Structure 1
Amino acid sequence: MSKRSNILPLLTALVLVAAFIALVWWSPPGKPRLEVLGEDRVVLPAPVQVFLAAGDRYLAANIENFRAMSSGTEANLPAEREFRLRSFDTASQLNPCHEDNYYVANAILTWGGAPEHGIDILRRATHCRSWDYSPPFFLGLAQNSFLHDPAKARASLELAATRASSEDQASSLHRIGVMMEAGSYQSTAASLAFLRHEMESTHDQRLKAMLEKRVQRMEGLQLLEQAQAEFEQKTGRPLQAPDELLSSGVLQAFPSDPMRLGYEFEDGHFRLRSTD
């Protein structure tokens, strides 16, 4: 074998090392180089990790996800939180379909103080895992809870319903989406009109039955609000207790709640009683 053929692998290795160093230390104008976020807590850019994994981005994603999930002894320190944020995000860039990554990132980031980053990872997983209802389900909950956008939340839950494994599961996802949007209306009348429209337009009999109960419950709340307004107009004073509606003759009986949760009177207003 010639000396030239012996030297070729060495030259190739040197070129690869030089390329790796360039990838690590070069950055576009205005962007910082890699940050050391704590002892041994460096997160390499996704292209560098693909390079180190011999071009296998799935292997690179597995390795980075393992690093993110194995971190936890000092999870409350700023550097450690920043490491986890970047590590989960990089693993998502490498493989947005990674199930463990989106699932754990949702728990640690979305519900752990970094919802915008967790939501980005859930969006990628929703697009990538076109068969899986879980990412859009988690995404809808996050959009409602942290972005306060019930319309987008419902759209995500409707998408999750199209991926459901059973009719019961699809109905539950439809129901959650509808109730999220219904809860966004400021007045009982607007919420009631929305629920009636949904009940009349759906062809899902399970959802229709559920909405019928919600409509009846909301009608009961509207009846109490109207009775309170009539009482206060007649007496010229605020309602002090619900029983005054009966003793004054404004109401003959309190409305029944088909969901058996009932109503409550707090701070001078009737409200739907919840299980919270």
Structure 2
Amino acid sequence: MMRSLVISILVISLAAVGSVFALNIVSLERERLRREEGIGIVMPSAVARIVALEFKGIFADIIFSRAMTYYGGKLIREEELTGEEWDWIYKNMDLATDLDNYFLDPYYFGAVNLSWGANKVKEANALLEKALKYRDWDWTIPFNLGFNHFYFLQDNKKAASYLIEASKRPGSGNLIPTLGARLEYEGNRTENAVIFLEENLKTTDDETIRYIYEERLKALKSILFLERAVTAYQSRFNKRPKKLEDLIARGIISEIPKDPYGGQFYIDEGGSIKTTSGLFHK
């Protein structure tokens, strides 16, 4: 009986020491978050899990906050992120979601920013695939995967399969099956992208994410407006306009809309509407 008591005391003591150690690490990480501005080495997931002990959720918050602090600082200074910096941010999102598999914010950040801003659709999809496994009730995860495959990878068949998955999850609404059917056709790419973003806005409460979606939606609606104007020009004059100014000169439109990202819309060599901003703040 005495031996059992001694063993119990040792186990409790070791657990207490481990908790104190982990709390000290948490405190040090928070202090480092306040001090550091540059990127550094991202702790391997296996090591982080050992160090965090039962405080994995707190560690995930710290890791995510550190990456967001760095990202926010770059935006405030109007500095473009390098490929190395985007890789570092992705690794932090990946680590945060390894520690807390249900942590929505890193998943959403990856879906919105890694795909659009960094042109890292593969990494964004890797985060969303992880979310698909753990957040198996959340219809917005397969919905965003569907959008990435449709808009960035131009894989309508794969996109439609994700939309089917999204439609089976609670709260998805009636629009998703219709949108999935629309993807069977190769045309209407910009129009379908507008529908995707409008649907995302309906279920997004985070003000930062809403702002990002609203800005991109405004840009895509401008592109759609210009695409339809080009079609009207072709129908009337049996030829493509060489530049957007031709649409004004021939009375198709009264003015060229502004790109909310600060770029200039133009017609590329293939006849598509593009913008010098690439739909991202430089």
Give the TM-score of the pair, scaled to structure 1.
0.49
TM-score by length of 2: 0.49
User: Which of 1 and 2 has greater Rg?
Assistant: 1
Structure with the greater relative contact order (CA < 8 A, sep ≥ 6): 1 or 2? 2
